[in-house]
Copies of this chain bind each other. A is one copy, B any other.
Amino acid sequence: MNEVAITGYGITNFNSEIVPIHEKLFEATKKLFDNTKNITNKEIDAVLISSNDNAKYLAAIISELMGIKPKIAHSVESLCSSGTNAIITGIAYIISGIANNVLIIGGDLHNSPGKVLDWDKSRGKFKHPIFWASIFSKFYKRKFNVKDEDLAMISVKNHRFALDNPFAYSKKSYSVYEVLNSKKITDDIRLLECSKPCTGAAAILLTNRSISKKFCENPIKVKGFGQKTTSASFTKNFETGILQSVIESAQIAYNNAKITSKEIDVCEIHDAFTVCEALILEALHIAEKGKGAKFAKNLFNSEERKVNPRGGLIGAGHALGATGIAQTIEITQQLQKIAGKRQLENANIGLIQNMSAAATSSSVLILEN
């Protein structure tokens, strides 16, 4: 069975530009080629685009711009986790022997049509994701006696970490006081507790591990992966604050990688809102039930960058189709020990968790150096 390695990547600034989506996707791809030794466009067997943009035929367009004539070329969409959906498709192509090199490019604009959940009729007029997050927050605070300050600390941490990420949307750190006094959007969520939909793109190269040294001195192995969709709408299969899709996708990935959560040195997780980081850490069995917020706070106080070292979605910004790929690039750099100021000591096994629509679906990847 073929194994898969990450052999190259490129990423753009995350900002609020409005430009053709093609331009951002091209920029990330060009950076990948600039950064990846020996790779030629002839060696790319598949080009996948992850995006919520309504533009069509993007994989063929970016291929043409780059002079690539791939066998496989198409777009993948699954809202905020389009990126990891595309990566796992690429993994399947390599495992199955259909491709040796798969180029995956994700991106969206800050006004992406994927950011409002128009299709979820059960939400009535509450179509913005903040409404489910608000319900989750209220539940979490009540059930586990967590304070607003505890959740706010997750925002403080992620904005602070983002300062060391040159591509991050946020360029400023905030105090707990500032987070708690930022614009109140619902009873339970303030503006600085939300990830910011932004413009950005990220590209990654997956390679059959047996030939990966040709393109990369330190290729990072894909050790495991898992996915789960439990429903589409908020009100189906809904036990408040239990991220069932995250639990199941992580379990599949841990089994697949033959490890437990204890072996994870560093992770990038989908903090769409502060409460998500707490709940996801618990669903991944990295933090104990009800202790996710405290876990994140302790990390911050000890300046340990185990969780969301690039600043998470709250600090780095959320360029929907780019997010899962940007997360994967961060973990790759951590395991390659080239994450600069963000570098965590002894990072050998890392995890990426990416999800959509009130955690109705989730993907988990596990990487190893």
Residue in contact with A232 in the complex, picked from B61, B95, B227, B361, CB distance below 8 Å: B61
Question: A349 contacts which chain B residues (CB < 8 A)?
Answer: none
Question: Which residues in A have some Cβ–Cβ distance to B below 8 Å?
Answer: 1, 22, 47, 52, 54-57, 59-61, 63-64, 69-79, 82, 85, 88-89, 91-93, 95-98, 113-114, 117-119, 226-233, 236-237, 249, 252, 356-357, 360-361
- Within the oligomer, what is the number of copies of this chain? 2
Contact call B72/A75, Cβ cutoff below 8 A: no
Q: A57-B232, A357-B60 in contact; A72/B227 too (CB < 8 A)? A: yes
A119 to B59, CA, bound (A): 12
A369 vs chain B, min Cβ distance (A): 23
Contact call B113/A56, Cβ cutoff below 8 A: yes
List 13 contacting pairs A-B, 8 Å CB cutoff, sorted by A.
A57-B117, A57-B356, A57-B357, A60-B229, A60-B232, A70-B229, A72-B227, A73-B78, A73-B361, A74-B82, A74-B89, A77-B77, A92-B98
Question: A1 contacts which chain B residues (CB < 8 A)?
Answer: 96-97
Contact call B97/A77, Cβ cutoff below 8 A: no
Q: Which partner residue on chain B sits nearest A227 by CB separation? A: B71
Q: A85-B72, A226-B71 in contact; A231/B93 too (CB < 8 A)? A: no
A96 vs chain B, min Cβ distance (A): 4
Question: A47 contacts which chain B residues (CB < 8 A)?
Answer: 229
A52 to B75, CA, bound (A): 10
A231 to B68, CA, bound (A): 8
A270 vs chain B, min Cβ distance (A): 15
A56 to B190, CA, bound (A): 27
